[in-house]
């Protein structure tokens, strides 16, 4: 057991709540602050893609014994349902029994706060943190940025306050703080597929649904109540863009033409489209993540990524797993804990940012591409036969806890090999032949 | 003549002052704000590399008729003096008569403020701008960030307030604002070579002096009073680093060993070393640079670069040239002026950032490398003979006003050609032969 400290966690989101449970179980006093009201007491308004929990997320939850409570609100998705304009294909994500899990962000957040409160963390909602004194972990709280502030001193402050973190904001003003934020020229908008009258799902419940259309795409993830949360990703400007769809008829015509099988399952299409906001997508990187033994950033506050690999929450939860490993290793030496945490984690945060950015292309374009689907089939056959020699990139990211940076590097290496393999004569017909298998073995050997 | 506006320029540095002259001559009311005292009334304390004014800087100054006033305080440097441990080499920067110009930042800034005041701009010193309302160009001014603020409304605000711009700070909080700041693991420290007793220079006056040593280097630029401003660039940490030199003897031994010919000309070496601060080096990029027709960033406030190409001030001054071109083209349509200014300027700002970053290697390593010096000689011979076919990269950046982005692209192309040329057998002896000339012509042809 560590020496008990008085710790503030800023942000009562998923990462903040789970971190509070870990810290509480390690014997600390934990106060969680959030500028918003208690999400359990308000009608949570969407504006969030459903979450896809995978291996790294579950590992962090199970590490503190709360995985099963979360499994109750999760729906397994073992495959992609790929809606082409004229047909529907399915593609398994991994091996038999391997799934990612659809969870509503609102539901999960409420549950995580309940679990953290049960563990003994104290939550302070509607408390606006405007600044932090780095050297002595003092929070500055007040009604407004220009009004009166009050000070709360802690032994340590965690910034789990998301991509626009106030805690990071103070660190950014330090010299030698590296920082970047880059927005995509693409936004997203939430739409809704309601349940059937009998509460069943209108589309296959255990699939992650994608309508890949190149520059834009629609996705849908199942909810427990029979509905699906849909998300339309599209450029802000240009030919097929949010800007170009200016009235109800244009939206309906656009969906009719491009997502014909979605029309009958999204009854409120035009209403949702004009009522729901268009949200932005940002990649944020920074370093350092910590200040002495006083301040540490975690989750989106230090590495916000675009959602196309479904790894945002998983990466944030894995931060906690790594932090906890360092705590177990270095005991009360928080300087060492923070320093090892950020050094070990930074390259992996950069790698999942890169993989997530690239994956928009895979989801929106390649899943509709015959060559890509052939590559996936070849990889699957080879990987089934030589599981020690080939873990597909998606599986390494999603169904393992190997470092993201390793996944990125090995994924690039595998793609180079598959580029060679796909050049083989008549590959469409010999893709599952010993010839192809031997070619891959040879290329692996020569590397 | 444009419709007369009430314009605030935040920042009374070089770019802010020159911009004020341009705006004043275009008929506007111009108020320049600075949080610091009037630099003309204080003892300016160094912490600044001397400036190297080149073509782009002069063009902007001459464009508003103040070039000659600045030439009075400038010293031409036509060559690099390369101090190897055991010998001294010289290398011309360009053609006969082409020079860059050493100017003291403090001297130049005082002169620019005088010139701007003479032109009718009003300066408000020791006025701290804490915030700006983007939509109506209102400045918020006060003694302290948390104290009382007063509002000053303008038609338009320019942020010429440097790499840590407060005006940009507000824009950064807007959605879709792309931003990055990256610090080098290297810092710099100012040292001093005083004049001889008779006021003459201790080293060649018309040279830019470099002591290239790979990971670190020393440079010296002449001042009017016979002294040189020296700057030591070195990693913060590691074998040869600021951190590693902890006492007077270590500093003196280090210089004795690595910069032997500098020892007798820097009498206050150890004093300067421990008295002067170690400064950081940052590259900052952002976009957009403007907000509607109300706010525009200019100079370091929107593109801070490392100093290794001597182009920081030149690039900032060229922003003004480009802005002025847009003003002449689009009259009172400030939305158009701002939009064209940022679109035209951004790729060039990115290019000079990249060139500046790369140029540390050229200065600190390649200037001591025989192969590199040979390449320069070959380029020189070819360029003299075919000036229409080959402008060396350094000349294009320094002695022309062709866009930086073009210089970067053509420079990469030229380097690829020279890589081929340097592979020729016996190149050390045939470098000025017709064979080499024809090889280059052929490679240019085939591109």
pLDDT at B362: 85
Query: pLDDT tens digit string along B389-439?
Result: 999 999 999 999 999 999 999 999 999 999 999 999 999 999 999 999 999
Are B37 and B54 in the same domain? yes
Query: pLDDT tens digit string along A187-216?
Result: 999 999 999 999 999 999 999 999 999 999
Decide if A55 is inside a domain.
yes
Decide if A97 is inside a domain.
no
Cβ of B180 within 8 Å of Cβ of A179? The answer is: yes
Q: Is the CB of residue B180 less than 8 Å away from at least one CB of chain A?
A: yes
Are B296 and B275 in the same domain? no
- Using a CB-CB distance cutoff of 8 angstroms, which residues of chain A are in contact with residue B133? none
- Using a CB-CB distance cutoff of 8 angstroms, which residues of chain B are in contact with residue A179? 179-181
- Using a CB-CB distance cutoff of 8 angstroms, which residues of chain A are in contact with residue B280? 175-176
- Answer yes or no: is pLDDT of B44 > 80: no
CA distance B180 to chain A (A): 4
Domain final residue, candidates A253, A280, A307: A280
Which residues numbered 230-289 in A keep a CB inside 8 Å of some CB on B? Answer: 280
**A403-416 mean pLDDT:** 96
Closest CA to B17 of B114, B112, B123, B126: B112
Cβ of B180 within 8 Å of Cβ of A182? The answer is: yes
CA distance A164 to chain B (A): 9
Decide if A25 is inside a domain.
yes
- Using a CB-CB distance cutoff of 8 angstroms, which residues of chain A are in contact with residue B346? none
**B306-319 mean pLDDT:** 97
Interface test with B, best of A163, A178, A357 (most B CBs within 10 A): A178
pLDDT at A44: 61
- Answer yes or no: is pLDDT of B47 > 90: no
**A234-263 mean pLDDT:** 96
Decide if A241 is inside a domain.
yes
CA distance B178 to chain A (A): 5
Decide if B168 is inside a domain.
yes
Nearest CA in chain A to B279: A175
Query: pLDDT tens digit string along A45-74?
Result: 555 678 999 999 999 999 999 999 999 999
Are A187 and A177 in the same domain? no
Which residues numbered 160-179 in B keep a CB inside 8 Å of some CB on A? Answer: 175-179
Query: pLDDT tens digit string along B155-201?
Result: 999 999 999 999 999 999 888 999 999 999 999 999 999 999 999 99
pLDDT at A50: 87
Contacts of residues A269-277 at CB distance under 8 Å and 24 or more positions apart, as own/partner, are A269/A191, A272/A189, A272/A190, A272/A191, A272/A192, A273/A189, A273/A191, A273/A245, A273/A248, A274/A248, A276/A46, A276/A47, A276/A189, A276/A190, A276/A191, A277/A47, A277/A189
Cβ of B177 within 8 Å of Cβ of A181? The answer is: yes
Contacts of residues A134-141 at CB distance under 8 Å and 24 or more positions apart, as own/partner, are A134/A170, A134/A171, A134/A174, A134/A291, A134/A292, A134/A294, A134/A295, A135/A291, A135/A292, A135/A294, A136/A294, A137/A8, A137/A294, A137/A295, A139/A8, A139/A10, A139/A33, A141/A33
Are A59 and A154 in the same domain? yes
- Answer yes or no: is pLDDT of A364 > 60: yes
Cβ of B180 within 8 Å of Cβ of A180? The answer is: yes
Distance in angstroms between the alpha carbons of the first and the last residue of chain A: 47
CATH of the domain at B70: 3.50.50.60
- Name the pLDDT band for B111 (thresholds 50, 70, 90): very high
Nearest CA in chain A to B184: A176
Of chain B, the percentage scoring pLDDT greater than 90 comes to 91
Are A189 and A177 in the same domain? no
- Answer yes or no: is pLDDT of B43 > 80: no
Domain final residue, candidates A280, A304, A332: A280
- Name the pLDDT band for B139 (thresholds 50, 70, 90): very high
- Using a CB-CB distance cutoff of 8 angstroms, which residues of chain A are in contact with residue B146? 149
Distance, C-alpha A196 to centroid of its chain: 29
Cβ of B178 within 8 Å of Cβ of A183? The answer is: yes
Q: Is the CB of residue A182 less than 8 Å away from at least one CB of chain B?
A: yes
Nearest by CB to A280, from B176, B180, B280: name it: B176
Are A169 and A220 in the same domain? no
Closest CA to B210 of B110, B322, B93: B93
CA distance A364 to chain B (A): 22
Q: In a 10 Å sphere around its CB, with 0-12 CB exposed, 13-18 middle and 19+ buried, how is residue B443 labelled? A: middle
Grouping H, G, I as helix, E, B as strand and the rest as coil, residue A193 is strand
Q: Is the CB of residue A144 less than 8 Å away from at least one CB of chain B?
A: no
Interface test with B, best of A146, A165, A304 (most B CBs within 10 A): A146
Nearest by CB to A179, from B146, B149, B181: name it: B181
CA distance A250 to chain B (A): 26
Decide if A249 is inside a domain.
yes
Nearest by CB to A182, from B178, B182, B280: name it: B178
Are A61 and A142 in the same domain? yes
- Using a CB-CB distance cutoff of 8 angstroms, which residues of chain A are in contact with residue B182? 178, 180
| Count of domains for chain A | 3
Nearest CA in chain B to A283: B178
Orientation of helix B14-25 relative to helix B312-330, angle to 10°: 20
pLDDT at A96: 87
The 3 state secondary structure assigned to chain B is: CCCCCEEEEECCCHHHHHHHHHHHHCCCEEEEECCCCCCCCCCCCCCCCCEEECHHHHHHHHCCCCHHHHHCCCEEECEEEEECCCCEEEEECCCCCCCEEEECHHHHHHHHHHHHHHHCCEEECCCCEEEEEHHHCEEEEECCCCCCEEEEECCEEEECCCCCCHHHHHHHCCCCCEEEEEEEEEEEEEEEECCCCCCCCCCCCCEEEEEECCCCEEEEEECCCCCEEEEEEEECCCCCCCCCCCCHHHHHHHHHHHCHHHHHHCCCHHHHHHHCCCEEEEEEEEECCEECCCEEECHHHCEECCHHHCCHHHHHHHHHHHHHHHHHHHCCCHHHHHHHHHHHHHHHHHHHHHHHHHHHHHHHCHHHCHHHHHHHHHHHHHHHHCCCCCCCHHHHHHCCCCCHHHHHHHHHHHHHHHHHHHCCCCHHHHCCCHHHHHHHHHHHHHC
Cβ of A175 within 8 Å of Cβ of B183? The answer is: yes
Are B341 and B291 in the same domain? yes
H helix or E strand, kind and range, residue A381: helix A370-385
- Using a CB-CB distance cutoff of 8 angstroms, which residues of chain B are in contact with residue A176? 183, 280
Query: pLDDT tens digit string along A94-122?
Result: 888 899 999 999 999 999 999 999 999 99
Cβ of A178 within 8 Å of Cβ of B176? The answer is: no
CATH of the domain at A229: 3.30.9.30
Segment among A130-134, A265-269, B6-10, B443-447 with least mean pLDDT:
B443-447
Nearest by CB to A183, from B176, B183, B280: name it: B176
> Is residue B35 within 8 Å of residue B164, measured between CB atoms?
no
Are A15 and A64 in the same domain? yes
Q: How far is it, in rounded angstroms, from Cα A114 to Cα A135?
A: 32
Nearest CA in chain A to B146: A146
The range of the structural domain enclosing residue A291 comes to 6-75+102-181+283-359
Cβ of A280 within 8 Å of Cβ of B175? The answer is: yes
CA distance B173 to chain A (A): 9
pLDDT at A46: 52
- Using a CB-CB distance cutoff of 8 angstroms, which residues of chain B are in contact with residue A177? 181, 183
Decide if A87 is inside a domain.
no
Domain final residue, candidates B359, B388, B411: B359
Q: How far is it, in rounded angstroms, from Cα B287 to Cα B273?
A: 38
Are A52 and A135 in the same domain? yes
How many interface pairs between A and B have CB atoms less than 8 angstroms apart? 30
Cβ of B182 within 8 Å of Cβ of A177? The answer is: no
CA distance A166 to chain B (A): 11
Interface test with A, best of B149, B173, B179 (most A CBs within 10 A): B179
Query: pLDDT tens digit string along A7-16?
Result: 999 999 999 9
Q: What is the mean pLDDT of chain B?
A: 95
pLDDT at B368: 83
pLDDT at A173: 87
Query: pLDDT tens digit string along B180-192?
Result: 999 999 999 999 9
Cβ of B179 within 8 Å of Cβ of A181? The answer is: yes
Query: pLDDT tens digit string along B326-359?
Result: 999 999 999 999 999 999 999 999 999 999 999 9
Interface test with A, best of B144, B164, B176 (most A CBs within 10 A): B176
Of chain A, the percentage scoring pLDDT greater than 70 comes to 99
Are B303 and B349 in the same domain? yes
Nearest CA in chain B to A185: B176
**A144-173 mean pLDDT:** 95
pLDDT at B251: 97
> Which position has the higher pLDDT, B306 or B95?
B306
CA distance B125 to chain A (A): 23
Q: How far is it, in rounded angstroms, from Cα A437 to Cα A390?
A: 12
pLDDT at A274: 96
pLDDT at A48: 66
- Using a CB-CB distance cutoff of 8 angstroms, which residues of chain A are in contact with residue B179? 179-181
Cβ of A180 within 8 Å of Cβ of B183? The answer is: no
pLDDT at B45: 56
Decide if A364 is inside a domain.
no
CA distance A183 to chain B (A): 5
Cβ of A180 within 8 Å of Cβ of B182? The answer is: yes
Cβ of B178 within 8 Å of Cβ of A176? The answer is: no
Are A150 and A13 in the same domain? yes
- Using a CB-CB distance cutoff of 8 angstroms, which residues of chain B are in contact with residue A142? none
């Amino acid at each position: 057991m560590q020496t008990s400290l008085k710790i503030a966690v800023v942000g009562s989101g998923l990462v903040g709540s789970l971190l509070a449970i870990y810290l509480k179980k390690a014997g600390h006093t934990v106060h969680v602050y959030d500028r918003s009201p208690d999400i359990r007491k308000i009608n949570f308004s969407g504006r969030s893609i459903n979450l896809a929990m995978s291996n790294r997320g579950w590992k962090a939850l199970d590490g503190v014994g709360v995985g099963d409570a979360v499994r109750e609100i999760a729906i397994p998705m073992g495959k992609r349902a790929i809606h082409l304009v004229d047909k529907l294909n399915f593609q398994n994500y991994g091996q038999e029994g391997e799934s990612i899990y659809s969870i509503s962000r609102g539901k999960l957040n409420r549950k995580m706060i309940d679990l953290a409160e049960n563990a003994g963390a104290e939550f302070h909602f509607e408390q606006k943190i405007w600044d932090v004194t780095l050297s002595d972990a003092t929070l500055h709280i007040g009604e407004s940025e220009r009004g009166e502030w009050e000070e709360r001193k802690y032994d340590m402050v965690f910034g789990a306050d998301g991509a626009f973190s106030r805690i990071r904001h103070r660190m950014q003003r330090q010299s030698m703080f590296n920082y970047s934020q880059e927005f995509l020229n693409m936004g997203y908008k939430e739409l809704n597929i309601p349940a059937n009258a009998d509460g069943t799902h209108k589309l296959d419940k255990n699939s992650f649904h994608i309508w890949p259309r190149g520059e834009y795409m629609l996705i849908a993830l199942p909810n427990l109540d029979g509905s699906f949360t849909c998300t339309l990703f599209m450029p802000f400007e240009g030919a097929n863009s949010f800007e170009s769809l200016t009235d109800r008829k244009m939206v309906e015509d656009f969906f009719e033409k491009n997502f014909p099988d979605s029309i009958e399952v999204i009854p409120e299409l035009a209403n949702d489209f004009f009522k729901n906001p268009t949200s932005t997508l940002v990649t944020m990187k920074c370093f350092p993540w910590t200040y002495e033994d006083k301040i540490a950033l975690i989750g989106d506050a230090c590495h916000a990524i675009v959602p196309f690999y479904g790894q945002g929450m998983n990466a944030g939860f894995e931060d906690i797993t790594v932090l906890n490993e360092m705590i177990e290793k270095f005991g009360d030496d928080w300087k060492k804990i923070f320093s090892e945490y950020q050094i070990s984690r930074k390259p992996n945060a950069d790698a999942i940012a890169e993989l997530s950015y690239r994956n928009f292309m895979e989801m929106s374009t390649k899943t509709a591409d015959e060559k890509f689907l052939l590559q996936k089939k070849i990889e699957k056959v080879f990987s089934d036969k030589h599981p020690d020699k080939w873990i597909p990139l998606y599986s390494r990211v999603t169904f393992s806890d190997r470092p993201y940076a390793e996944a990125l590097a090995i994924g690039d290496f595998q793609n180079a090999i598959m580029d060679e393999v796909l050049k083989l004569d008549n590959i469409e017909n010999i893709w599952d032949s010993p010839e192809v298998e031997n070619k891959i073995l040879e290329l692996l050997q020569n590397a």
